[in-house]
């Protein structure tokens, strides 16, 4: 099972505590970036007229059929990294990403738990929280 653990800092944002691999760290960065509900991603996920790619502060997202690929926006040297190498990208279905954002809004953004864990098992990402 792959995972990322995020923790709430006193100034109200989530940062990475622990992760199983670099791809999960990318997913954690996306949710750390969101902080707020992520309404702009809600519309973008399913509406291809809003573009096939977008980015946050540190994560690049691109649509491919029913899936979305997430990758680091910058390489280790701080340069834009628009690599086509799929081995560096996290693949998630559009539906699963939308579900994660909904859970993030309800369980994380609204309630501010101290710890958030996102796991990947059997091709599904899930969020759990604890204090």
Task: Report d(CA 59, CA 44) in Å as an integer.
Answer: 15
pLDDT band for 103, please (50, 70, 90 cuts): very high
Mean pLDDT rounded to a whole number for the chain: 90
Task: Report d(CA 96, CA 23) in Å as an integer.
Answer: 16
85 against 104, higher pLDDT: 104
Instruction: Reply yes or no on whether the pLDDT at 109 is more than 90.
Output: no
Q: What is the pLDDT of residues 30-53, one digit of tens each?
A: 988 876 655 678 889 999 999 999
pLDDT at residue 56 in the model = 84
Q: What is the pLDDT of residues 60-77, one digit of tens each?
A: 999 999 999 999 988 777
């Amino acid at each position: 099972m792959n995972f990322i653990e995020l923790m709430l800092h006193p100034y109200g944002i989530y940062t990475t505590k622990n992760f199983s691999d670099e791809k999960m760290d990318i997913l954690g960065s996306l949710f750390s970036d969101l902080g707020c509900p992520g309404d702009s991603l809600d519309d973008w996920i399913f509406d291809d007229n809003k573009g096939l790619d977008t980015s946050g502060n540190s994560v690049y997202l691109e649509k491919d059929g029913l899936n979305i690929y997430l990758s680091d926006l910058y390489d280790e040297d701080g340069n834009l990294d628009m690599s086509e190498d799929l081995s560096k990208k996290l693949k998630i279905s559009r539906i699963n990403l939308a579900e994660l954002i909904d859970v993030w809004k309800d369980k994380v953004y609204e309630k501010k738990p101290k710890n958030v864990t996102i796991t990947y098992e059997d091709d599904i990402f899930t969020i759990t929280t604890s204090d």
